Amino acid sequence: MIRLYNTLSKQLDLLPNTGTLHGDLKMYACGVTVYDHCHIGHARSYITWDVLRRWLEFRGHPVKYVQNFTDIDDKIIERARQDHLTCEQVADKYINSYFEDFDWLNVQRADEYPRVTKYFWAIAGWVNEMLVRGLAYEVDDGVRFRGANFKTYGQLSGHTACEDFYIWKNNPEDKKMFAGGRPAWHIECSVMIRETLGESIDIHCGGHDLIFPHHENEIAQSESLFGKPLAAIWLHNGFVEHRGKKMSKSEGNALYLRDLRANGIDPNMLRFWVLQAHYRQPLDQYGFHQCYMQWRSLRNRLLNAPEEGVTPGFVEAMDNDLNTPVALAELHREPTKEMAGLLGLKIEHYPVPQDIRALADTRAVLRDQRKWAEADAVRDQITALGWEVHDHNIEGRASVTVSR
Ligand SMILES: [Zn+2]
């Protein structure tokens, strides 16, 4: 029986059985605002929800998973102005970047990726309905939700004082856009959830920083319109930090996925690093570079491990609020490729790139010539590129092989 820590009830809740009774489990995660490339904090969130989805399906709950793209936003408009592009071109560029990064990380694609600009009419319809029902009111620069009307505000975050908030913003500079304005952020998710999954869903996921006000406001909007719970279970992943401080783009300490990719980092190592902490705990990106040896040791065990088999200890750990650190320990104790696959770890032999092969051959020649210092410099060069060097002696001649 799967139990998950529900931010709403503040306890471990059994998975709702709505999915098994009425078809697929409905799961939604707030997606990225597409004005920049994704960093290691995004990787943590979407790897976590990817592992959750794999686990739910393994345990017999097919999932319909939706994750949105916020493709209209002040930051996107600013980026478009800077780069002399349209907002759509900016959004397309970073959506492509998102897929490159997350395909690389072996994150399974969602069933749907709704984009805000494709839901303008639906959102405008909601705004109108809220105005008609007195749930919202017009101001000079848009439409605001009437917070005081929603009596159960604060159920998720404890912030019980609901201030009015925008659901629509008029922007006189954006005359070309629909109605000279655009949706505010919170309303987007409420509408896209309703349009893709329905009025009530099973699991709503997001980063810890979205609990307030974003998710609280999603609840206020959806529940005041439909009078039923927006989501049965609310899950939130912890922050990624940098030496105890918040990791962020503005601090300049964020590791970008495309840089890790360009540097030949093994995507499995990144996934391993994410999963060796529990998803609700903070995770320090400083530790990323230090998990290399642990990952290598697990990977080496997995290379020759049996294909099939899932141990009771692994099931127990994963059922218990997705306790991946314990699941990884279990995998190390009794490795199988099936359990690795359930965590999204892809175990394969890596083909050696030509430049690495050439360096290895150079080292072999230098060793034959007894140029030890130069040979060691080449070895260090190969190691720095993430490969391990193995020296052999075959019939009196040096031979060098490499592995990851
Ligand atoms: Zn959202």
Sequential DSSP letters for 157-224: TS---PPPEEEEEE-GGGTTSGGGEEE-HHHHHHHHHHHHT-SSEEEEEEEGGGIIIIIHHHHHHHHH
Residues 259 and 392 in one domain: no
* Residue at a domain's end among 181, 213, 237: 237
Q: How far is the CA of 247 from the centre of ligand 1 (A)?
A: 21
Q: ∠ CA(183), CA(188), CA(193), 5° rounding?
A: 155
pTM for the whole thing?
0.86
pLDDT score for 178: 56
One domain for residues 245 and 225:
no
Range of the domain at 21: 3-237
Residues 294 and 267 both lie in one domain: yes
Q: Across 77-81, 149-153, 341-345, which has the greatest mean pLDDT?
A: 341-345
In a domain, 347, yes or no: no
Same domain, 27 and 143: yes
CA dist., res. 318 & res. 342, Å (int): 10
Considering the domain architecture, whether residues 176 and 270 belong to the same structural domain is answered as no
Of 317, 342, 367, the residue that ends a domain is 342
Over residues 185-208, mean pLDDT: 96
Per-residue model confidence as pLDDT tens digits over 211-222: 999 999 999 999
165 and 229 assigned to the same domain: yes
pLDDT tens readout for residues 330-368: 999 999 999 999 999 998 766 778 889 899 999 999 999
CA 157 / ligand 1 centre spacing (Å): 15
- Whether 161 and 51 map to the same domain: the answer is yes
Domains in the chain, number = 3
Question: Domain check: are 326 and 386 in the same one?
Answer: no
Protein residues near ligand 1, an ion, with CB under 5 A: 30, 189
Same domain, 221 and 269: no
The answer to whether residues 8 and 85 belong to one domain is yes
Please give the distance, rounded to the nearest whole angstrom, from the Cα atom of residue 221 to the centre of ligand 1: 12
User: 216 and 325: one domain?
Assistant: no
Please tell me the predicted confidence (pLDDT) of residue 264: 81
β 201-207/231-237 pair status: parallel
Give the mean model confidence (pLDDT) for residues 125-144.
Answer: 94
Q: Is residue 349 part of a domain?
A: no
Instruction: State the distance from the centre of ligand 1 to the C-alpha of 48, rounded, in angstroms.
Output: 16
